[in-house]
Structure 1
Amino acid sequence: MKNRLLLLITLLSVSLTATAQKKKDDKKADKELIAAEPDKEITGDTYNKWSVEIDLGQSKGGKPYAEGYYMSDPDKVLGGFQLNHYGFGVRYMISPKFGLKTHLSYDDIKKLPGSESLDFKVQHIQMTFEGVVNAVRLFDLQDEAKRFGLLFHFGIQASQMSPKMNTAAAPNNKGKKELNGGVIVGVTPAIRLFDNLSLFADIAINSNIRQHFNWDGSYSERSNNLTGSLFTTSLGFSYAFGKQKIHGDWALIQDKKDKEIDALNNRIGEIETLMNDSDKDGVPDYLDAENNSIAGVAVDTKGRMVDKNNNGVPDELEKYVDKTITNNNNTNSATVTNGMLEQLINDGYVAAYFDPNKTQPTTASSDNIGFILNYLKNNPDKSIEIIGYADELGSTAYNNKLSGDRAANVKAILAKAGINPNRLTIVGNGIDDSVDKNSDYARRLVRKVVFKIK
C-alpha cells in the first residue's frame, strides 16, 4: 500500500511538472511569435489585462429638486460648465471581449455658473462595480476601428450624499449623510495614444433606487424612496500595466472559438487546393503521383502515365509514335510528331537507369536507349546531349566522376550502334538531390542518364 501511494504521488508530481512546463513553453512561444509577427492574431495571455484610469468632468443632478433649485436654467439647452467630477478606476479584462471594473468618484453638486437657481451644494461620493463589454471586439470590428475603441459598462453602485451648506429648503441638513444605492450604465469611446495609454471620454447615467435627499440638500416631501438620476460626462486617461507590450483593447487577438473557426476555414481552403488538377489529367493533385503528365495521355488512378512495358515511355504515346513516324510517310504528320518526340526526350521521359555505383545501364533501360537510337537515325541532322546523374550517397567528387562515366557508357553504346560520336556530347552533372536520400526507391529515380536534343 505504501509503495502504491508513493508511486501515485510520483506520477502526480511528474504530471504537474509537465503541465507547468507546457504552460511556460506556450507563453514563451506566444512571446516569440509576437516579437516576430506583431500583427499576427493569436490566443493566450499575450496582452495586458489590467488597467487604471483617471477622469475629470462634470456631474449634473437630473432630479429631484425643491422649488427654486436647479443646476442649470430649464430654458437653456446646454447650460454652463463646471469641473465638479473626479474619478479613479481599475479594470480587468477576463477575455478580449468582457471584463470587470470598479470606479470611485467624488462630485460637488451645485448650481452651474450663470444659473438663476438658489445656492446649494451637495457632496456625492460613489463606488461602482460593473461589467465591461468591448463592443469593437464583440462585433469583430478591430480591423476597421484600428486605434479607436468603444466600451460599454453597466452594474451597481453605492453612494453617499451629504449637504455642505444650509439652504432655505434645508436649514438644518448641513453635514448630514445618506447612503444610497442603484444602477449605473455608460459608454466609453477611446483612442489609443500609445500601446498602453489611451484617451477616453465617458458618458454615464446613474439611477438611485433609494434616495431621500433632493439634489439641493433638502428632504423630499414624498415619504417613499426617490428615484434620483445623475448624469456624468468626463475625459480621462487609461493606462494598462503588465508584462506584455500592449493592452487587450488594442492587441490583435482571437478568442479560442474564433481561432478554431479560422482553422476550419483554412482546412477547407487546403482541401480546395488539393482538389486542383494542375496537369488536367482528371486526377486531383493530392492523389496525383505524377503531377506533370502529358496532356491527352492516359493515366492510372494515381495520375501516372500508363507504361505497361516499363520502358519509360507512356504506352499511348509510344503507339502513336510508332504509327505516325515508323509507318506514316506524310511529311506534315512527321514534323508534328518530331516536335512531340523532342518534348518527350527533353522533358526527361526517356531515360536510362543504373544500379548503385554502376556505370552500365540496367537491362530495363535498353528500350529507352533504343528509342534514342531510332530518333537519331530518323533525324540525321540532330545531335544530342547525354547528361549523367548520381544519387546523394557518397562524396561529391566520387559522384561527379560516376555521373560522367554513366554518360560516357551510354555514348559508347549509341556509337557502337552506328551513331557518329560527333553528334553525341556527354555531361556529368553529379548529384541529383531532388529526392529523399533516405528512400531507396526514390534514389533509383536519380541514378540516371537523360537526353537533350541540340
Structure 2
Amino acid sequence: MKGKIILCIALVLTNLAGFAQKQEGQYSLEATYGGSFASKPSITQFGHYDLGIRYMFDPNWGIKFDFGHDKFRNDETPKQGVDYTRLSLQAVHNLGRTLNIPKATGGAVNALAHAGLGLSVFKSTQQKTKDNMGNLIVGVTPQIYIFEDMSLQLDFSYVVNLLQHFDYDGTYHFEGAPKSFTGGHATASIGIIYYLGKRHSDYDWR
C-alpha cells in the first residue's frame, strides 16, 4: 500500500513539474530524509522521509503540498510500533527575507517557515485497525545555496496529531475502550530542493 501511495505521489509530482516549466512563479520539488522523535513512549528513530512540491506566489509567501512517512519502533520490543503516513497542505513564508539572512550571508544562506494541516494514519504492528487522524504541522527550513536550480535544505518540524488513539509503540494510549487524545512528534531531516519553471530560484535567493 505504501508503495502505491509513493508511486501515485511521484506521478503527480512529475506532471506538476512539467506544468511548472511553462508557468510564472517559483516551483520546486523537495525531498528530505532524517529522524523522528516521539516522547510517549520515548522513541528516537531514523526512517523519516518527506516529498513535496512548493509554489511561491511572490518572494515572501507560498504554499506547499507534502507527503511524510515515519517508522517508530520500541527499543525494548523492536517488533512493536507504528508506521506513520501524513499528507499536509502548508503555507510557506520566506523568513530569510524578513530577517535579511541572504543579504547578511552573501546569498549563501536562507530560511523558510512553514505551517499547515492535513490528514495522518497510524498503522500499528499490534492492532488490526488503523488510526485515522488530523494533523497540524509547523517548522523551519534553513537553506544553503548550491547553484541556480538547486539548494540544500535542513528541516525541523513538529507535528500535532488530532484524535490520536495509538501510542508510538503501537498500543492503545488508554486501557479499555479506545479514547482519543492529542499527540505529537518532532522530525529533523536533510535534503535537496530542485527549482523548476521560468524563475528558477529567484524568489528564494534574489
Q: When the two structures are superposed, what TM-score results if normalisation uses the length of structure 2?
A: 0.80
State which of 52, 60, 64 in structure 1 corresponds to 2:29. 52
**CA-based RMSD:** 2.0
- Which protein is richer in helix relative to its size? 1
SS of equivalent residue, structure 2 residue 203:
coil
State which of 109, 119, 122 in structure 2 corresponds to 1:148. 109
What is aligned with 1:184?
A: 137
* 1:224 to partner: Cα distance: 3.9
Query: 1:48–1:240: 8 Å Cα contact kept in structure 2?
Result: no
State which of 116, 125, 133 in structure 1 corresponds to 2:85. 125
Identity of aligned residues (%): 30
Once residues 101 and 81 of structure 2 are traced to their aligned partners in structure 1, the CA distance between those partners, rounded to angstroms, is: 44
Query: 1:198–1:238: 8 Å Cα contact kept in structure 2?
Result: yes
Structure 1 segment 345-356 matched on structure 2, within 5 A = none
Report the residue type matching 1:83 in the other structure. Answer: F
What is aligned with 1:71?
A: 43
Paired residues in the alignment total 180
- Which protein is richer in strand relative to its size? 2
SS of equivalent residue, structure 2 residue 180:
coil
What is aligned with 1:446?
A: none
Report the residue type matching 2:155 in the other structure. Answer: D
Residues 201, 244 of structure 1: alpha-carbon distance in 2 compared, 3 angstrom cutoff: same
State which of 190, 199, 203 in structure 2 corresponds to 1:244. 199
Once residues 165 and 200 of structure 2 are traced to their aligned partners in structure 1, the CA distance between those partners, rounded to angstroms, is: 48
Higher relative contact order (CA 8 A, sep 6+): 2
Residues 148, 228 of structure 1: alpha-carbon distance in 2 compared, 3 angstrom cutoff: same
Report the residue type matching 1:196 in the other structure. Answer: D
Structure 1 segment 245-324 matched on structure 2, within 5 A = 245-251=200-206
* 1:48 to partner: Cα distance: 5.1
Report the residue type matching 2:53 in the other structure. Answer: V
Once residues 203 and 124 of structure 2 are traced to their aligned partners in structure 1, the CA distance between those partners, rounded to angstroms, is: 41
Query: 2:47–2:71: 8 Å Cα contact kept in structure 1?
Result: yes
Once residues 99 and 124 of structure 2 are traced to their aligned partners in structure 1, the CA distance between those partners, rounded to angstroms, is: 44
Report the residue type matching 1:59 in the other structure. Answer: S
What is aligned with 1:108?
A: 71
Report the residue type matching 1:159 in the other structure. Answer: S
Once residues 237 and 48 of structure 1 are traced to their aligned partners in structure 2, the CA distance between those partners, rounded to angstroms, is: 19
Q: CA offsets per residue over residues 382-420 of structure 1, 9 Å max, x none?
A: xxxxxxxxxxxxxxxxxxxxxxxxxxxxxxxxxxxxxxx
Once residues 209 and 157 of structure 1 are traced to their aligned partners in structure 2, the CA distance between those partners, rounded to angstroms, is: 10
Report the residue type matching 1:55 in the other structure. Answer: T
Report the residue type matching 1:88 in the other structure. Answer: L
Unaligned runs of 5+ in 2: 1-23
Aligned pair 1:138/2:92, yes or no? no
Q: When the two structures are superposed, what TM-score results if normalisation uses the length of structure 1?
A: 0.38
What is aligned with 2:11?
A: none
Query: 2:101–2:110: 8 Å Cα contact kept in structure 1?
Result: no
State which of 89, 97, 105 in structure 1 corresponds to 2:60. 97
Once residues 102 and 152 of structure 2 are traced to their aligned partners in structure 1, the CA distance between those partners, rounded to angstroms, is: 17
Structure 1 segment 381-420 matched on structure 2, within 5 A = none
* 1:231 to partner: Cα distance: 0.9
Unaligned runs of 5+ in 1: 1-46, 73-81, 167-172, 252-454
